[in-house]
Amino acid sequence: MSEVEKDGVVPARNAHARGLTRIVDAMGRYGTRNHTIKSMRDLKGKRVLVETLAFTPEEAAAAEVAGIDTMKVRFDPERPELAAALRKAAPNTFMSFAVQMSVATSEETALKVAFAAMNVGADALMCQWSPRFIRALAEAGIPAQGHAGLVPRKSTWTGGLRAVGKTLDEALWIYEEIKALERAGAWAVEVEVIPAQLLAEISKRTTLLTSSIGAGGGGDIQFLFAQDILGDGPAPFPRHSKQYRDLQKMRDAMQQERIAGFEEFIADVRSGSFPGPEHVVNARADMIEAFAAAADKT
């Protein structure tokens, strides 16, 4: 067996050498992580962390090998198997499970969802829930990350999918939203599409780690979706993103190759060139003649 034991847990003798920290998760399982809440908090104002949201196990595994600091994955308590597969693909990366607003309607259901996520392997929960729900998680010892600025599922309150915080009233409102999450016990906040200068000022005035998506370089964490980084989707991509690869172009080319392959197969069958002599098994002529004679008698 390699130095990475079952389920990706690195033995104690090798964990330090690989820059990993041994942990026990909320369910009592031993593991290793590249970061803990404390180690990331200790880096606030010193080094910008790098974060992505992975959609597939292949993306999660690639991000871990590349050295991503922290990762988000989507978690559906009714279908936990995808998040479980992503956790297994990146066993040593600090991972927050992102949940839909609608899965919790009370502190009690929020806790049930959060513990379900922790049972699958989450290190933290990412949500758009109110400070009241986040306080319940914090009191239970579950690290929670909130969401401020442009929150797409709440965008009707801020005028649709647009930048938020370009007026003094909006800037102060965002700041108070973040401070409310801080008071509730959150450890981080995703800040989406606000002015870069505003996030830089807010980051200096909160103990939360600020994860910037479309909010400039003034946050503690720089966040982009894996689909945006890899160019793995139809254009246009969000204005605030950058594509480092063009997997969509490769997928389109692969689809054209699939079509061409099927077309050539159809043409070969219709012309009689497939199957050829090299594709078939032959029998002796006298055996086939004997078979035909016997079959005709029956």
Residues with catalytic annotation? 192
Contact yes or no for 20/92 (Cβ under 8 A): yes
Please give the helix or strand (H or E) that residue 274 lies within, else none: none
The CA distance from 244 to 239, in Å, is: 14
Interior CA angle at 167 toward 165 and 173, to 5°? 55
**Length of the chain as a residue count:** 298
* CA–CA gap between residue 167 and residue 180 (Å, rounded): 20
Three-state DSSP class for residue 97: strand
Least Cα distance to 154 among 100, 215, 226, 212 occurs for: 100
